[in-house]
Every structure is written in structure tokens, then in C-alpha cells.
């Protein structure tokens, strides 16, 4: 068994290789292209940096182009198979396929429609579970194994630009949110697709969109927005929970939730008892990118408790984000700011989640936590 150095200082070559491979699993990134080849940066990241996952988009926000990763069902199947064929550890292949207006696989490209969360919340939970199964079947057929859905936000503010106005919440009743979110999760899992609840600790009351800037919910948030998580975590409804880039002074008067140890470790892990994978919302969203340097944001997120750092590479595009992020985290270990044990804990949670849809791994280093 290879044990990593736990004291600050330069790592041996073998130790650094193992550390970099573990950190690679903590990254999930977007990329450009409907096909990949030997010159694709994303294939380099998968092969050389042991990248943990990718996320697919239907349009390129930065280029204002309708072309990104998705053209047709057959094209997506070929793309996801090509990506997985280059991975040493099976990839998370993720997408936002909530239903309604937030769907990357849409009818104009040959995919079946799906209702919004609000529409589902007005029906029965059995019907919501069936919609989850339909969504899961669609994604599994395309080679997608992780859906950044369902939204567990409570519809406190129907005009909330990121949630209520887009009909992304099941209900204004937190108990109904939990009921339908659980049903949708069960449907996805029945098809071998992992769900991911979002956006902790609750985006439904926000009057701003964290894609566009700092979102302060201190004056609008209430404990009712935690209720779905309080109900769903003991049920082990979802192996992953996504953070929101939400500033909530009552919980942390210095950092937004994604960067807050009080929120992610104190509240989500210790008080609510979540033992699964904590995923950041896109680290390139303006709520983070405009207020923190990239290196500091990455370090604060991991210190707070984030296991998987998401870089959509869509609001901004940086084909070098994977090696950059790995270098930042390796240096933090060598400098003593982060411990090897902290990296190993995230790595092990990620592998536990992946084992829910893969029975074995071709590559799995032995690391003592």
C-alpha cells in the first residue's frame, strides 16, 4: 500500500502522482465539441490527469452559439462512449435535465419533451417518479450517468429569476418539495442514473441569479428551505448534493455557501448528517468568479467541504482549467494548507458514489484516509 506524506513539504514523485490522480477525480468540467479526437484538451485531461467527470451543454454561452456538445441522440452516444473509452476510472457524465425550460436534450434535436418541476409538483408523486424514470431511461441510453436534478429549492419567491420564474421548484410547500424530489430521485436511480439535489441551503427565495453576481439571501431565506434536506438526507434519497453560491449572513457573514465551512461542514455534514458527495455549483459563475481569485476560491471550496469542483467552461472557457486546478491543490498540500487526508476523503466519497453505477474499476489506488 502506498502511503502519502502527511507533513508539509515536497512530495516524492510517486506520492505526487497519486495525489494528482486523486485530485483529478475531484474535478468535473465542460468542454467544446460534439466529437473528440487526439487533439481535444478534454481527452488529454481524461488520460493524463485522471479527470473525474464532464458536463454536457446544448449551447455555448460565451460564444453565444447554439452549438456545444449536443446535436442528436446518436451523436451524444458516440461522444459519451468516446470519453469513457479514454478514462482509467469511469467518468461522471453529467447534464442538467430537470424538465421544462432547464433541459439540455430538447425536442429540436430529436429528444423527448419533459414537464417542469412546477408542473410535476401539481400532480401525484407517483407520476413524478415515472417522469424520473423516463428521464433516467433517456439519459442512460445516451451514456449520461449523473443528472444535476432534482431541484430541492422551495418556491418562496415565484419571481425568483433563477428558480421560480423558470418553474424549477416543485412547490412552495417544503414537504411537497421533498415528496416530489424523492420520487424523481427514485425514478432516476431505477434507471442507473445518479440524481443530485440542488441548491443547498436553498435558492428559492433569492431575488437575484448567482450566474450573474453575488446573491444575498440573508433577508429572504427561512429555515423552511432546509426542510426538504432534513427529510431527504435520512432517506439517502440522493448520493450527491450541489451547493448554491448563496450568501446567508445568519450562517456565515464572510463567505457564500460554496466557500463556507460553517454551511457545508457544520450544517450539511455535521448537523444534517449528509455523508455523500458535495458538488459545487459552477465555479465560473459570477457570484464566485467576480469576487474571489480562482486559486483562493478553489482552496476555500475544498476547505469548506466541497468534494467535486464544477467548471462548466461555458460562461468562461479555459481548456487548461484541469491542470491549473490540480496544481493549485497540490501546492496547497505541499504548503500544509490542505492535508492529504482531506483529499483522500473526497476521493473515497466520489468512488463510493461511482460504485453505484459501476461494479468495478480498472484503476483504484489504495489510500489510507
Q: Given the residues 49, 180, 211, 245, select the one marked as catalytic.
A: 211
CA–CA distance from 351 to each of 106, 192, 361 (Å)? 31, 16, 9
- Among 58, 281, 282, 307, which one carries the catalytic annotation? 281
Q: Are 278 and 259 in contact (CB under 8 A)?
A: no
Residue 180 appears among annotated catalytic residues:
no
- Told to judge if 318 belongs to the known catalytic residues of this protein, a careful annotator would answer no
The tally of CA atoms less than 13 A away on the side-chain side of residue 212 is 6
What are the C-alpha distances in Å from 159 to residues 143, 169, 281? 35, 12, 21
Beta-carbon contacts of 333 under 8 Å, excluding residues fewer than 6 positions away, are 8, 11, 19, 339, 340, 343
Please tell me what DSSP assigns to residue 264: I
E strand or H helix that includes residue 42: helix 41-49
Do strands 215-216 and 246-247 pair parallel, antiparallel, or not at all (unpaired)? parallel
Catalytic annotation, residues: 211, 281
Amino acid at each position: 500500500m502506498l502511503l502519502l506524506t502527511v507533513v508539509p513539504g515536497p512530495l516524492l514523485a510517486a506520492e505526487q502522482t497519486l495525489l494528482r490522480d486523486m485530485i483529478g477525480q475531484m474535478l468535473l468540467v465542460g468542454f467544446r465539441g460534439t466529437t473528440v479526437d487526439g487533439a481535444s484538451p478534454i481527452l488529454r485531461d481524461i488520460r493524463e490527469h485522471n479527470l473525474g467527470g464532464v458536463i454536457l451543454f446544448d449551447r455555448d454561452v460565451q460564444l453565444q452559439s447554439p452549438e456545444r456538445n449536443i446535436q442528436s441522440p446518436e451523436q451524444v452516444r458516440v461522444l459519451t462512449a468516446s470519453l469513457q473509452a479514454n478514462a482509467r476510472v469511469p467518468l461522471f457524465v453529467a447534464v442538467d435535465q430537470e424538465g421544462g425550460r432547464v433541459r439540455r436534450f430538447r425536442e429540436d434535436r430529436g429528444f423527448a419533451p419533459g414537464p417542469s418541476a412546477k408542473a410535476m409538483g401539481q400532480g401525484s408523486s407517483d407520476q413524478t417518479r415515472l417522469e424520473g424514470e423516463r428521464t433516467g431511461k433517456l439519459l442512460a441510453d445516451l451514456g449520461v450517468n449523473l443528472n444535476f436534478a432534482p431541484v430541492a429549492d422551495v418556491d418562496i419567491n415565484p419571481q425568483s429569476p433563477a428558480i421560480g420564474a423558470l418553474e424549477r421548484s416543485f412547490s412552495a410547500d417544503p414537504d411537497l418539495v421533498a415528496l416530489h424530489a424523492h420520487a424523481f430521485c427514485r425514478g432516476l436511480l431505477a434507471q442507473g442514473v445518479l440524481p443530485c439535489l440542488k441548491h443547498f441551503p436553498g435558492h428559492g427565495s433569492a431575488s437575484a441569479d448567482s450566474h450573474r453576481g453575488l446573491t444575498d439571501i440573508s433577508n429572504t431565506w427561512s429555515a423552511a428551505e432546509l426542510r426538504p434536506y432534513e427529510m431527504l438526507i435520512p432517506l439517502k434519497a440522493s448520493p450527491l448534493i450541489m451547493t448554491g453560491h448563496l450568501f446567508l449572513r445568519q450562517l456565515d457573514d464572510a463567505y457564500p455557501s460554496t466557500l463556507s465551512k460553517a454551511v457545508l461542514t457544520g450544517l450539511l455534514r455535521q448537523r444534517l448528517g449528509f455523508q455523500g458527495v458535495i458538488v459545487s455549483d459552477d465555479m465560473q459563475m459570477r457570484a464566485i468568479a467576480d469576487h474571489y481569485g480562482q486559486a483562493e476560491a478553489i482552496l476555500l471550496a475544498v476547505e469548506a467541504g466541497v468534494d467535486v469542483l464544477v467548471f462548466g467552461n461555458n460562461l468562461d472557457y479555459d481548456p487548461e482549467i484541469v491542470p491549473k486546478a490540480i496544481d493549485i491543490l497540490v501546492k496547497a498540500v505541499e504548503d500544509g494548507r490542505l492535508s492529504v487526508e482531506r483529499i483522500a476523503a473526497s476521493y473515497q466519497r466520489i468512488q463510493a458514489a461511482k460504485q453505484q453505477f459501476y461494479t468495478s474499476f480498472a484503476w483504484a489506488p489504495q489510500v489510507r484516509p
